[in-house]
Amino acid sequence: MREQMKKMVPVAGLVIMFLLFAFTTDGKFLTRVNLQNLIIQSAITMVAAVGTAFVMAHNNLDFSLGGACALSCVLSYLIAGQNLPLFFILCMVFGIVCGLFSALLHIKGQIPAFMAGMCLMFAGRGVAQSVAANTNMLMVGAASLNNIWFFLLVLLVVVVLGFLIFNYTKVGKYQKLIGTNPKATELSGINVNAYKTIAFAISGATIGIAACLTVIRSASIIGNTGLNLETNVLLALSLGGISITGGSATKMRSAIIGTLIFFILNNGLTLWGLNPDYVDIVKAVFFLLTVTISIDRSQYDMIA
C-alpha cells in the first residue's frame, strides 16, 4: 500500500501544481501562448530525459548531456554549415558518438560512467566556447521550424518510441535486469556490456535530437548552447520519482511527469512574479520534498 502511494506522489504533484497555477495566475497560466511556451521549453529536456532513463535503468548516470549537446551542434555546424538536413543528421551522429564514447570509457576503461560523462561535459563546453568566440554561428534557416506543431511531433515520436522500447523490447527489459543484479544478468546469458552500450547510444541519439531542437529554438549556436541540460534532466527525472539506483523500479513515466513538473513549477512561479533568484530556491525546496517522499529506499532496507 505504501509503495502504491509513493508511486502516486509525482502524478499527484503534477495535478495539484497544474490546478494551483491555473487558479492563482488570473488565467495567465492557461493562455494558449503560455501553454505553447511551456511545451516548447519542456520538449528539449523531455527528449533528453527519455534517453537518459535507459542509462539510469542500468544504474549509471550520464553527465555528458549539456557538453555533448554543444559539441554535436558545433561540430555539425563546422561540417554542414547552413545545410539544414545534413546538420540535423550530423547532430544525431555526433550525439550517438558521444554516447558511445562514454560507454567505451566506462566499459573498456572501467571508470564510472558519470566520470566519463563529466569529461565530455567539460570538453564539449570548452570546444563550443572557443569556437563561438571566433565564429558567429547563425542558423537562420532553422527558425522556420520553430513552431509548436513541429515540437509536439518530435516529442510525440520520441516519447512513444522511448516508451515502447523501454517496456516491450529486450533493450529496455535488459537495462532493468542489469540495474537489478548485473551478475545474475550475465549468468542468464545476457551480454551486459553490449546492452549497456546500446543504452548509451540511445541516450546519445536523444542528445542529438535535443541539440537540433535547441538550435531550432534559438536559431544560432553559442558558447552556452545546451548549458545545464544534464542538471535539468537529472532534476526532472528525480522529480518524476525515478529510481536512483536503476533496476526494475525504473519507469519511463518519470521522464515525462518529471519534466512537466519541473517546467510548470518554473513557469507558474515566474507568472506569480517571483524574483528569478527565489524561483530557484523554491525549486530546491520542492525537489527535496518530492524526492524525500517518493525515492525508492529498498536498497537501504538491508542495513536498517
Partner 1 sequence: MEEIILKAENMFKEFGATKAVSDVTLELRKGCVLGLVGENGSGKSTLSSMIAGVYPPTKGVMTYKGEEYRPKSVLDARKAGIQYLTQEQGTIDGMTVAENMFLGEEDQMSKMGNVSIKKLNLLARKILDENGMNYVNPKAMVETYSFEDRKMIETARALSHQPAILIIDETTTALSQKGRERIYEIIFEQKKAGTAIVIISHDLDEVQKLCDEVLIMRDGVYVDTLKGDEINAHNMREKMIGRTMEGSYYRGDFECTYEDEVVLEVKDLSVWGIFSDVSFELHKGEILGIGGLSECGMHELLKTVFGAIRPTSGSVTLVQNQVALKNTTVSVKNKVAYIPKDRDKESLFQPTSIKDNIVASSYDKIKKGFFIKPSDEKKLADEQAKKIEVKMQNIEQLIRDLSGGNKQKVVIAKWIANESQIFIMDCPTRGIDIGVKAKIYKLMDTLKHEGISILMVSEEMMELIGMADRIITMKDGRLSKEFTRSKDLSESTIISAIV
Distance CA 139, CA 146 (A): 12
Instruction: Report how many residues bind partner 1 under the rule CB under 8 A.
Output: 25
Alpha helices in 135-252 (DSSP H): 148-168, 170-180, 182-187, 192-218, 229-239
Distance CA 186, CA 174 (A): 10
Smallest separation, CB 63 to partner 1 (Å)? 22
Residue owning grid cell 553490449: 194
Distance CA 113, CA 57 (A): 13
Window 130-169: contact mask with partner 1 (x via CB under 8 A): ----------------------------------x---xx
Kindly report the number of other CB atoms within 10 A of residue 247's CB atom.
21
Q: Which of 134, 187, 273, 297 binds partner 1 (CB under 8 A)?
A: 187
Q: Which contacts of 154-162 are long-range, i.e. CB under 8 A and separated by 24 or more positions?
A: 154/43, 154/47, 154/209, 154/213, 155/39, 155/43, 155/46, 155/47, 158/46, 158/47, 158/50, 158/206, 158/209, 159/46, 159/50, 159/255, 159/256, 162/50, 162/51, 162/53, 162/54, 162/206, 162/252, 162/255
Smallest separation, CB 302 to partner 1 (Å)? 6
Stretch touching partner 1 by CB under 8 A, among 109-117, 146-154, 175-183, 266-274:
175-183
Does position 228 interact with partner 1 (CB under 8 A)? The reply is no
Nearer to partner 1, 67 or 172 (CB): 172
CA 290, distance to chain mean position in Å, is: 18
Q: Which of 99, 247, 258, 268 binds partner 1 (CB under 8 A)?
A: 247
Nearer to partner 1, 108 or 183 (CB): 183
Nearer to partner 1, 133 or 303 (CB): 303
Q: Which of 32, 108, 183, 297 binds partner 1 (CB under 8 A)?
A: 183
Does position 184 interact with partner 1 (CB under 8 A)? The reply is yes
Smallest separation, CB 198 to partner 1 (Å)? 13
Nearer to partner 1, 15 or 164 (CB): 164
Phi and psi torsions of 190, nearest 5°: -100, 135
Nearer to partner 1, 24 or 298 (CB): 298
Stretch touching partner 1 by CB under 8 A, among 58-66, 171-179, 234-242, 280-288:
171-179
Cβ-contact 196, 176 below 8 angstroms? no
282-301 positions binding partner 1, by CB under 8 A:
298
Does position 303 interact with partner 1 (CB under 8 A)? The reply is yes
Cβ neighbours for 245, distance < 8 A, ≥ 6 positions apart: 59, 179, 296, 299
Stretch touching partner 1 by CB under 8 A, among 110-118, 145-153, 174-182, 278-286:
174-182
